[in-house]
Amino acid sequence: MNLIVNGDAEAGPGGTADPVARVTGWRVVEGAPALVGYDVGQGYPTAADPGPPRRGSRFFSGGESPRTVLVQDVELPAAGRTGRGRVDAGHVRFTVSAWLGGYAAQEDGARLSVEFRDAAGTPVALAVLGPVTSGERQGRTGLVERSATAALPPGARTARVLLVLTRTGTGTSNDGYADAISLTLNATGGKP
Amino acid sequence: MKTNRRDLLKAAAAAGALGAVWPLVGDLSPAQAVEAAGLLGAEYDPAPFTLGVASGDPTPTGFVLWTRLAPEPLAAEQALPEVVEVKWVVAEDRDLRRVVARGTAPASATLGHSVHVSVDGLRDGRQYWYAFSALGRRSRLGRTRTAPAGPVSRVRFASANCQAFHGGYYAAHRGIAREDIDFVVHLGDYIYEGGPVSGPRGNGTAVDFTLGDYRRRHALYKGDRSLREAHAAHPWFLTWDDHEVVDNYSGTGGGAPFMQRRAAAYQAWYENMPHRDDSETALPDPEIHRVRRWGDLLELTVLDLRSYRSAQNLPDGTILGARQKDWLKRGVDRAPDSWHCWVNSIMLNQLRGRPGGDFMFTDQWDGFLAEREEVLTHVHRSGLEDLVVITGDWHSAFVGDVRTDFDEPSSPVVGTEFTAHSISSNAYSPAWNAANGPRMGAANPHLQYFEGNRYGYDLYEVTPERWTTSMRVVQDLQDPVSPVTTLTAFHVDRGKAGAYEDPATKNSPAQYRRG
């Protein structure tokens, strides 16, 4: 189960290249993102460009701000196969994945990080994905998949998801793109 | 005659043996790298606590404890389980018998097997000792303290900055470790990210780009036992400057390749520092700026002049970023009646190279004129008194009046800036200093003092009546145990803006003194 709300940019206002003030499930900490439709065109990624196989209708972009930052706090499950008991016994792994991209040969970028915290708010694990360079996209407009998996440390209770979309140069559009953002937990043996 | 380590290192330096192999070149195994580092004076604590222990960000109820498991300190990743349980203990005595807190914390490979423990619920103004254990071994003992609350009659602390490993040995940190002080402030340039460098302690070529690169760089620096001693002896407050990432960078506006590099550098910095990060943002972008109080005597405002800055020399440029600037100004508005110290990585005061000439470096606040004027005018209009700014970056010592308008000598003096010598990063030549000290003095009427021929740290003693900055300098940068002496001292009296030099040392060597 994906623990991130609206990691696919499908919910709430959006659909055009215009920035939005609010994003379902996320706090907009800086700038203003656009939740761009794959049918918008105008140089934005389309259904025909590299991207998630099941990409829905929209993706995140940085809007028109030089730096757009979205944050989502996730409470990790209290019980169940990936609940606290299993986490504290060292029997849970996390996987963070996202499709991240940009425009043509430009170096605008999207970076996704997930910081796992203990009950006191101290970081105990970290996953950082991207940003993807134009070289890593072979200079093509589109998004490529990045993922990280690791053991979830005992004591982990929350996750802070941070999506940073950055613009380089003097243009208007912040063409850091992200879609299909996911955080999942998996039990790794031992009795529940 | 018994040959000691100090003699061996000096002999090696004299024979040109140092720098034959730079420990961070790519084709060395981690063990070979440690061996090469050893020839440059690096020696590590026993594994897995090779990098020592540290504490930071003291408050009246606690502090952060830090260590990092690194059996192979110069490896990018450690051959350890993904998560290692680390025990920690805090006690009122150095034998760790009167335990006041203990627990376990996970060291995750995703954070370089570092551990940050936020200890809370302690008594204010007390000294504590601490240690970690893991994998059947115990770390060295660390000493720390909580901040006091309420009336305080004295605080003593030191600042360090600019500690290029290749530049020399850390006798200055050895001195800091032995000072009777409450805490240490690091003003930045804790590491240098590389490039062709040469100095008394090696010739480096490797440049850092990846997380592994930066991890290895931090581990090389912590190979100097004096740095580990200084961390273990006192709690630290931390800011950073540019070389924790790359020379003269702006934290905003870079393309994806730079943002990858910046994230790697920031993460490695966090992994290797006793930094508390419980901010509104998240790693790999730690939040540095904060206000801390030492009882009713001192308000410490730690600034981050890198993460949010724009490019230099723009009409609407920013060195603080809009949110940090608003936060700073609100802090000025609400400031208590105490000394106010801004922890400032890079020079605040204006600095022209010659009368009527250009600014020397616009990477410092001189590249952000409108914002500096706005902030200092706000300080003046708010009536803030007793402001002392402590600064690094310059590899030389300056003392100067902070004015609202540096080109108008009659404008109000709102504070004093002390820019400290570097720990080991190379300064200009004595000839340059001799020629340019008087030029800078003539070009900058607010400048009181300049001295660029020495290395060391600043020591601050603050009472309700007076602030004293003592410039502590090492005798020989190539001597790991060089004695430390006081070059000179400056005082600021409470309620009276402007510094004056201590009469006992006002004839000490310097390349400029205002008449």
Tokens encoding B240? 């950073």
**Largest Cα span, chain B:** 66
Q: Where are the domains of chain B?
A: 53-145, 155-189+282-513
Q: Which residues of A touch B266 (CB under 8 A)?
A: none
**Rg from Cα positions in chain B:** 22
CB-CB neighbors (< 8 A) of B83 in chain A = 90, 151, 153-154
Is the previous residue joined to A123 through a cis bond, with omega within 30 degrees of 0?
Answer: no
Task: Please name the residue ranges forming H helices in B15-106.
Answer: 30-39
CA-wise closest residue to B172 among B464, B466, B451, B458: B458
How far apart are the CA of B282 and the nearest CA of chain A, in angstroms? 7
**Across the interface, do A153 and B255 touch by the CB < 8 Å criterion?**
no
Domains located in chain A, CATH noted: 27-187 (2.60.120.260)
pLDDT for the residue B397: 98
What's the rounded Cα separation, in Å, for the pair B232 and B130?
A: 9
CB-nearest to A113 from B253, B278, B284 is B284
Any B CB within 8 A of A123 CB: yes
Convert B322-390 into a string of H (helix), E (strand) and C (coil).
Answer: HHHHHHHHHHHHCCCCCEEEEEECCCCCCCECCCCCCECCCCCHHHCHHHHHHHHHHHHHHCCCCEEEE
Sites in chain A below the pLDDT cut of 70 = 190-192
With CA atoms as reference, report the closest residue to B263 among A103, A92, A143, A128. Answer: A128
Range B155-189+282-513 classified under CATH 2.40.50.140: no
| pLDDT of A191 | 54
Q: How far apart are CA B91 and CA B101, in angstroms?
A: 7
Q: Which candidate from A66, A123, A151 shows the least CB-CB separation from B83?
A: A151
Q: Dihedrals φ, ψ of A74, to 5°? A: -120, 125
Domain B53-145 is in which class? mainly beta
SS3 call for B439:
helix
Q: Which residues on chain B are in Cβ contact (under 8 Å) with A123?
A: 111, 116, 270, 277, 282-283
| Residue range A68-97, pLDDT digits in tens | 999 999 999 999 999 999 999 999 999 999
Residue bearing tokens 């409108």:
B370
Cβ A166–B263 below 8 Å, yes or no?
no
Give the C-alpha separation, B320 to B433, whole Å.
30
What radius of gyration do chain A's Cα atoms show? 17
Cα–Cα distance between B260 and B86 in angstroms, integer?
Answer: 30
Cα gap B394→B440, rounded to integer Å: 14
Q: Which residues 234-273 of B are in CB contact (within 8 Å) with A?
A: 252-257, 259-260, 263, 267, 270
In degrees rounded to 5, what are phi and psi of residue B12? -65, -45
Q: In sequence order, what are the beta bridge partners of A150?
A: A94
What predicted TM-score, i.e. pTM, was given to this entire model? 0.96
Residues B215, A183: Cα–Cα separation, whole Å:
27
CB contact under 8 A, A164 and B108: no
Q: Collect the ranges in chain B with pLDDT lower than 50.
A: 1-3, 5-6, 8-9, 11, 13-19
| pLDDT of the residue at B27 | 85
- B82, closest residue in chain A (CA to CA): A151
Q: In angstroms, rounded to a whole number, what is the distance separating the alpha carbons of residues B193 and B244?
A: 6
Check if the beta carbon of residue B484 is closer than 8 Å to that of residue B473: yes
